[in-house]
Amino acid sequence: MTYYNNMRDIKIKNIIKEERPRERFIKYGVENLSNEELLAIILKTGTREYSVKRLALMLLNELGGIEKLKTATINTLTKIKGIGQVKAIELLSIVELSKRMNMVNISNVKLNNSKLIFDYFKYLFKDEKQEYFYAIYLDSKSKLISYKLLFKGTINTSCVHPREVFKYAVIESAYSIIVMHNHPSGDPTPSHQDVEITKSLFEIGKIMAIPVVDHIVFGKELYYSFYENLNNW
């Protein structure tokens, strides 16, 4: 049973004014609002069937938590009852702004340290149940140009296409690349497939003169850097 099933559907206008999300925002500050209340403010309106607060609860329940918004798509959001294309676009725009603000913090940082990269990017993989494969594109000073999600699912040599990795490197005029993916088990020990993918990308990077300088496997609390373990594979 979902946790909103037994909730009485009360319209925002009928809620005591002091308890409405916007009024609570003003009175207590944004940091004291729940995820449900913040989403209700973003969504603005509910439907004929559901108040905006209930719609926010349904959204959280269907996604499996607020952190799932960062990988949601228009298609996944619009499958949720009460979320049309306009609301989906508004939600995803806020997610994208959040990502860009996070990137501003590292735009002038040299990403030449595996631990530093782990600390900056681990939020991307928090509580994920499947593997996500990203490429980080760097300039000649090892500073961030961009990063892109290239593949998701079970990461193996058949789904990780080098052409996708290097296509964006050419488009972005990248000087070098770092690739990274997560192990949902929490154990960052590389698999045989991880090793084969890394060897392939490293070799192609040499040919393309756009070196892949590291492949970092993210676990729950730890990481594995192929660069730091060059003698072990």
pLDDT tens for 70-129 read 888 999 999 999 999 999 999 999 988 887 777 666 777 899 999 999 988 988 888 788
State residue 222's pLDDT score. Answer: 95
Number of Cβ atoms within 10 Å of the Cβ of 113: 15
Domain boundaries, the chain: 12-102, 114-232
Superfamily of domain 12-102: 5' to 3' exonuclease, C-terminal subdomain (1.10.150.20)
pTM of the model: 0.64
**Helix or strand or coil: residue 215?**
strand
Going by pLDDT thresholds of 50, 70 and 90, the confidence category of residue 160 is: confident
Q: 28: Cβ–Cβ under 8 A, 6 or more apart, which residues?
A: none
* Residue with tokens 């725009």, as numbered in its chain: 93
- Orientation of helix 192-208 relative to helix 162-171, angle to 10°: 40
CB 85 within 8 A of CB 78: yes
- H-type alpha helices, the chain: 21-28, 35-43, 52-63, 74-78, 85-104, 114-121, 162-171, 192-208
pLDDT tens for 36-74 read 999 999 999 999 889 999 999 999 999 988 888 888 899
State residue 14's pLDDT score. Answer: 52
Q: Residue 8 pLDDT more than 60?
A: no
What is the topology classification, in CATH, of domain 114-232? Cytidine Deaminase; domain 2 (3.40.140)
Burial class of residue 92 (count of CB atoms within 10 Å of its CB; 0-12, 13-18, 19+): middle
